[in-house]
Amino acid sequence: MDEWHNMQAAYSDVDDRPHEECGVFGIYGHEQAVALTYYGLVALQHRGQEAAGITSTDGSHMFSHKGLGLLTDVFKSGELEQLKGHAAIGHVRYSTAGSNTIQNAQPIALSTHARNFAIAHNGNLVNARWLRIQLEQEGSLFQTTADTEVIAHLIAKAGVDDLTEAVRLAANRIEGGFAFLILSDDELIALRDPLGLRPMVLGKLGEAYIVASESCALETVGATLLRDIEPGELVRITREGFTSMRFAERRQRRMCTFEHVYFARPDSDVDGWNVHSVRKRLGKLLAERHPADGDIVIGVPDSSVSAAAGYAEASRLPLEMGLIKNKYIARTFIQPSQALRDTGVRLKLNAVRSIVEGKRVVLIDDSIVRGTTSRRIVRLLRGAGATQVHVRISSPPYVSPCHYGIDTAKEDELIAAQHSIEEIRNLIEADSLEFLTVDELMAGFNFAPGDPVPFCNACFTRRYPTELVDQGLNEEIEPIHIGG
Ligand SMILES: O=P(O)(O)OC[C@H]1O[C@H](OP(=O)(O)OP(=O)(O)O)[C@H](O)[C@@H]1O
Ligand SMILES: NC(=O)CC[C@H](N)C(=O)O
Ligand code: SF4
Ligand SMILES: [Mg+2]
């Protein structure tokens, strides 16, 4: 392998983990709408780091700027000041459908004979390819390869002038996980899929209404959380105020448990549950049902810190900062030339020798997806002098890919889809390894075994709450590359 490929290998090793999904933020009725959208997106940056964008309106014109990278890459030299208006929507992206190109960055804007409108979408449709084939046969020409543009075309082709009605009709043709925002010169529309797979909250700041993927974004801009948007609810905000309707028949809720396990920020309340508190309860359950003979408890930063606190409290073992994560290693980080796998992991994480040396460590993580993180960390801890490493995971084995907006991996890359727990223990070189069961995960939300639960657990159970319509259709084609 040449140096460049070495760098790529080491880089991808650093980045080999489940990626976030997307974050959306929208506001109507505030003179600082654009700046507040930017701040709201900063709070949602953990949900996507590939691309970002904001579209605004002053009531007669729409303004838009988007680009690849973090918010600080995309808005760095006065672009924010170019966007005007009292209403705006914004997006941070991690791609699930359509690769990471500027064309696929969001919001995606469309001009029709009736109006301009823009869409920002979190989620993934399971029938987007099938719909795209129908739409292209009917004459639609797509500019992107993202599933989000399918929604935009369905709206444009709905055959009604009223935008809300067009959105309602479009929303009834799509299936999967979706929480999206539509902005036109006159209105902001927000809706959440009928199963509630993807989260969305409603808040208020003075007279302005805000919709966002997570409540931490409301907190960041000083807004009050009013409530979660209901599964199957469509919310419309205009100069006249706020209205709400159901766009789809009531269905059994299927909220994503992985938002709580890993994705959402611990300070967010998702569907009434505070994420940190859920993670802490899962850590306690892990200690009660899967104890380990250890001297200290260490959580894998950042996402497992809450679960580790719960485990330590319930097991009465000391919680230690035995691993330190470098905050400045973002996914866009490019390594210097001496790229080597081990160097890659040490750039991201360090074990603290004075804490772990001579200790039996209980290592808490929230999930094992490909298994790369746990293997590296077990090695790091042993290298720093840990005598034993017992790994405890605060969710069940991740055995099947997500089709609803979380970019994990294909089934053949998921370690638990390919191996038994004992084989995984061996592969990650741990002294012992235990996971929560699905029933134990549900106990973290106070459900007893056998209770009907309002959650999607498909990545743990392989039982998907929707038909996977696109499976078997050809993969998306790659978009045309612009700029050489
Ligand atoms: O088995 P793997 O494929 O390695 O993926 C699992 C790991 O990735 C995630 O953390 P991440 O590195 O994203 O960091 P975070 O907790 O700071 O978000 C997750 O919390 C696990 O630690
Ligand atoms: N992760 C997401 O929510 C991505 C949204 C959309 N499917 C895209 O790829 O752009
Ligand atoms: S499959 Fe897993 S990650 Fe995807 S929505 Fe369901 S619970 Fe969430
Ligand atoms: Mg983590």
- Whether 216 is a known active-site residue: answer no
| Contact status, residue 441 vs residue 395, Cβ threshold 8 Å | yes
pLDDT in tens, the chain (484 residues): 333 334 334 333 444 455 567 999 999 999 999 999 999 999 999 999 899 999 999 999 999 999 999 999 999 989 999 999 999 999 999 887 878 889 999 999 999 988 999 999 999 999 999 999 999 999 999 999 999 999 999 999 999 999 999 999 999 999 999 999 999 999 999 999 999 999 999 999 999 999 999 999 999 999 999 999 999 999 999 999 999 999 999 899 999 999 999 999 999 999 999 999 999 999 999 999 999 999 999 999 989 999 999 999 999 999 999 999 987 765 433 333 334 444 555 677 899 999 999 999 999 999 999 888 899 899 999 999 999 999 999 999 999 999 999 877 789 989 999 999 999 999 999 999 999 999 999 999 999 999 999 999 999 999 999 999 888 776 666 666 665 4
Q: Which atom belonging to ligand 1 lies closest to the Cα atom of 302?
A: 17
Q: For ligand 3, is residue 117 a contact (CB within 6 Å)?
A: no
Residue 303 annotated as lining a ligand binding site: yes
CA of 378 to the centre of ligand 2 (A): 33
Which part of the chain has CATH 3.40.50.2020? 276-450
Please give the helix or strand (H or E) that residue 257 lies within, else none: helix 257-258
Q: What is the pLDDT of residues 257-314, one digit of tens each?
A: 999 999 999 999 999 999 999 999 999 999 999 999 999 999 999 899 999 999 999 9
Beta-bridge mates of residue 85: none
Which part of the chain has CATH 3.60.20.10? 21-251
Residue 366 annotated as lining a ligand binding site: yes
Copy the structure tokens of residue 28.
């109507």
CA of 471 to the centre of ligand 4 (A): 30
Q: How far apart are CA 61 and CA 427, in angstroms?
A: 57
Q: For ligand 3, is residue 258 a contact (CB within 6 Å)?
A: yes
Which numbered ligand comes closest to the C-alpha of 413? Answer: 1
Q: How far apart are CA 371 and CA 422, in angstroms?
A: 13
CATH architecture assignment, domain 276-450:
3-Layer(aba) Sandwich (3.40)
Residue 216 annotated as lining a ligand binding site: no
Q: For ligand 3, is residue 442 a contact (CB within 6 Å)?
A: no
The residues, ordered by sequence, that sit 6+ positions from 164 with a Cβ below 8 Å of its Cβ are 187, 189, 234, 236
Q: For ligand 1, is residue 377 a contact (CB within 6 Å)?
A: no
ipTM entry: 0.97
Catalytic pick among 7, 10, 14, 22:
22
Mutate to test the pocket of ligand 1, among 303, 328, 391, 407 (most ligand atoms within 8 A of CB): 303
Q: Is 53 helix (H, G, I), strand (E, B) or coil?
A: strand
CA of 258 to the centre of ligand 3 (A): 6
Q: For ligand 3, is residue 441 a contact (CB within 6 Å)?
A: no
Q: For ligand 1, is residue 49 a contact (CB within 6 Å)?
A: no
| Contact status, residue 231 vs residue 193, Cβ threshold 8 Å | yes
Q: Which atom belonging to ligand 2 lies closest to the Cα atom of 95?
A: 9
pTM of the predicted model over 0.90: yes
Classify residue 82 by its DSSP letter. Answer: H
CA of 18 to the centre of ligand 4 (A): 9
21-251 is a CATH 3.60.20.10 domain: yes
Q: How far apart are CA 385 and CA 322, in angstroms?
A: 11
Which residues fall inside 5 Å of ion ligand 4, going by CB? 303
Q: Is 178 helix (H, G, I), strand (E, B) or coil?
A: strand
The residues, ordered by sequence, that sit 6+ positions from 285 with a Cβ below 8 Å of its Cβ are 310, 394, 436, 440, 443, 444
CA of 458 to the centre of ligand 3 (A): 6
Residue 64 annotated as lining a ligand binding site: no
Other CB atoms within 10 Å distance of the CB of residue 143: 13
Q: What is the pLDDT of residues 199-250, one digit of tens each?
A: 999 999 999 999 999 999 999 999 999 999 999 999 999 999 999 999 999 8
